[in-house]
Amino acid sequence: MNGTTHPRLPARRGGGTGTWWSKAVLRAVEEAAFGEKELRAGRALARAGAVGAITVTEGGAVAAVTEGQDAFTVEVTVPVLAEDDAAAFTELVASESGRIGALLAGQLPHALVESVEEAGVELLPYGGELGSACTCEAWLDPCPHALAVLTQLAWLIQADPFVLTHLRGLSRERVLRDLHQLRQPAGEPTVAAGSGGDSDATDDVDDLVVAEDAAVRAARLLRLESPFDSW
């Protein structure tokens, strides 16, 4: 199972507008919360920078959360897409020019999500899908520590929608690999990752996509020097 570790986010003040897709994820977090008190406590921990580095994998994420002198380990879960749904998502990304470029640039086109939903695929989560476990003694699920992690996941998703697809079982590398396979002429052999060929799964992408990926990564790095000032 491939995991991507995102560095600890700095403390920040206040709120902000966010993007439409990060708002949707935050609404799901609100739906999952037991009550307003726990939600406020989770948001306070997230804003205070109490959440450590978050490791995102297919179907979940794990992070440490500090509160006072104590530290707790939080695991959150999100259902992964079925194989048919994952294939449908990739085909819909490939169906219109500009969609993969938008994703690589840190955007989640509303038209893409609408098309995905019309195909019966749930990309954006709802509250009942968000599971969690924490080493604290709170009986609530999710506890404030888990809500803090979920809140910061929404912030990460704001900057990079591939965090959302990764949680749904489609890592950035898999999406690019599957898109490349869709574009290959029928009958042309594909070099599998780890097969001893000249390229691995990440390199198994069209040269144009690779170049675009490098450019937008550089642009996003500059933008993410102060990633959540607008929140």
Neighbouring-strand partners of residue 61: 56, 76
- Averaged confidence pLDDT in the chain: 84
For the segment 100-104, the average pLDDT, to the nearest whole number, is 94
φ, ψ for residue 4, nearest 5 deg: -125, 125
User: What are the tens digits of pLDDT across the range 41-75?
Assistant: 999 999 999 999 999 999 999 999 999 999 999 99
pLDDT band at 104 (very low <50, low <70, confident <90, very high): very high
For the segment 198-205, the average pLDDT, to the nearest whole number, is 44
pLDDT band at 219 (very low <50, low <70, confident <90, very high): very low
For residue 40, the number of C-alpha atoms closer than 13 Å in the C-beta half-sphere is: 3
Q: 184 versus 24: which is more confidently predicted?
A: 24
Q: 74: how many CB neighbours lie within 10 A of its CB?
A: 25
DSSP state of 205: S
pLDDT band at 17 (very low <50, low <70, confident <90, very high): low
DSSP 78-133: -PPPPHHHHHHHHHHHHTSTTHHHHHHTT---HHHHHHHHHTT---S--GGG-EEE
pLDDT beyond 50 at 80 = yes
